[in-house]
Amino acid sequence: MEIRQAVIEDLITLQQLGRETYRHYFGDLWHNSDELEAFLAHDFGDEEMQSSLQDASYRWIIALEQGNAIGFAKLHFDQPLGIAKGQGAKLCKLYFTPQSRARGAGSRVFAAVEAAARERQQPVLWLDVLQSNLPAIGFYQRQGMHQVIESAYVTETQTTKLWIMKKDIDD
6-40, pLDDT tens digit by residue?
A: 999 999 999 999 999 999 888 888 888 898 999 99
pLDDT in tens, 88-134: 999 999 999 888 776 788 899 999 999 999 999 999 999 999 888 88
Report the interhelical angle of 11-26 vs 46-54 (nearest 10°).
120
Residue 102: what pLDDT? Answer: 65
Maximum C-alpha span of the chain: 45
CA 137 to chain centre: 13
Q: What is the pTM of this model?
A: 0.88
pLDDT at 72 over 90: yes
Per-residue exposure over 95-121, b if at least 16 CB sit within 10 Å of its own CB, e if not:
bbbeebeeeebbeebbebbbebbeeee
Q: How confident is the model at residue 147 (pLDDT cuts 50, 70, 90)?
A: confident
Angstrom distance (rounded) from CA 48 to CA 92 = 13
